Structure 1
């Protein structure tokens, strides 16, 4: 789906998180960043994926990584999702899909025989200089931390 690949500069983005704070790529300069895109807050697969990353948050931090979740959900829905599960990282409420489209993760999907447009579950690992190190398109929600840190 996405045309972005390892070695490409990450798209420069700016969007509001679940608290209304503006977050942009520049905020993470000098740090490694995991940006994971998920279809919908509080759905089973998205919850398992987000919890797996949260359960390993200290491990990510000890390796110099920050984490950022992104979906097209409203700030209120993102806030409820974060509060319910105690996520230690921000969730972008990308309702206008500017970040989602910049990363190329919006497009046709199929579910139970129906075709529709939606977010493709994709994770980008970005280095300290804003360059994409890895793109994970076949996300294993229960074991996503191991996928990201396998390199």
Structure 2
């Protein structure tokens, strides 16, 4: 073999090795991309599964009772003060919720206001939040809620065992407490779904009075 032919063969072999190297790198990159895509899809499936599980596992809890309801006096968004004792002789629903920033919570109260059955049955609904008036009023205006909200520093929410029932350990969840005309706590229900149809709430309450 001549020197020229030998040199040409070396160049050919070098080009072939380079092509093989490039092809190998491309294959490895494609494999890595494929693995990454599979991992991403798997992670997404797991995330969706956790969300679905969370939604399905966030079931409402209902507890009957017959103990005297803790007394309280709280300031309201209307600038007044409200005591539980003010409503002795009437059934009262305390609506504990996350308050400012929770649109579903305010929509819940708006839905309750639109149902005339509560007033017709003589049932008073008192929404209680751990906010200042300045914090919660924009939400009330946004959803057209007229009922004054009771402003709690956490003392009342703790007394009624509502803290940590939702997404935040230091806030109430989304729940209701029924107190009868004699001041006795008859029922407490927590709803992690952040909604209870007002008609269902009314029926629940009536069945326990």
TM-score (norm 1): 0.81
Looking at secondary structure, tell me which structure has more strand per residue.
1
Task: Single out whichever of 7-16 and 81-90 deviates more from structure 2.
Answer: 81-90
Query: How far 1:139 moved relative to its partner?
Result: 6.1
Query: How far 1:142 moved relative to its partner?
Result: 4.8
Identify the residue that residue 22 of structure 1 maps to in structure 2.
81
Aligned residues: 143
Identify the residue that residue 51 of structure 1 maps to in structure 2.
110
Identify the residue that residue 36 of structure 2 maps to in structure 1.
none
* Distance (whole Å) between structure 2 residues aligned to residue 5 and residue 76 of structure 1: 35
Distance 1:109 1:30, change over 3 A: closer
Gaps of 5+ in 1: none
Partner SS state of residue 78, structure 2: coil
Q: Which runs of 4+ in 1 moved over 3 A?
A: none
* Distance (whole Å) between structure 1 residues aligned to residue 133 and residue 79 of structure 2: 7
For the Cα contact (< 8 Å) 2:98–2:171, is it kept in 1? yes
Distance 1:116 1:25, change over 3 A: closer
Gaps of 5+ in 2: 1-62
Residue 7 (structure 1) aligned to one of 56, 66, 88: 66
Query: How far 1:117 moved relative to its partner?
Result: 3.0
* Distance (whole Å) between structure 1 residues aligned to residue 192 and residue 90 of structure 2: 23
Looking at secondary structure, tell me which structure has more helix per residue.
2
* Distance (whole Å) between structure 2 residues aligned to residue 108 and residue 64 of structure 1: 28
Over the aligned positions, Cα root-mean-square deviation in angstroms equals 2.4
Identify the residue that residue 68 of structure 1 maps to in structure 2.
126
* Distance (whole Å) between structure 2 residues aligned to residue 21 and residue 86 of structure 1: 20
Q: Which structure is larger by alpha-carbon Rg, 1 or 2?
A: 2
TM-score (norm 2): 0.61
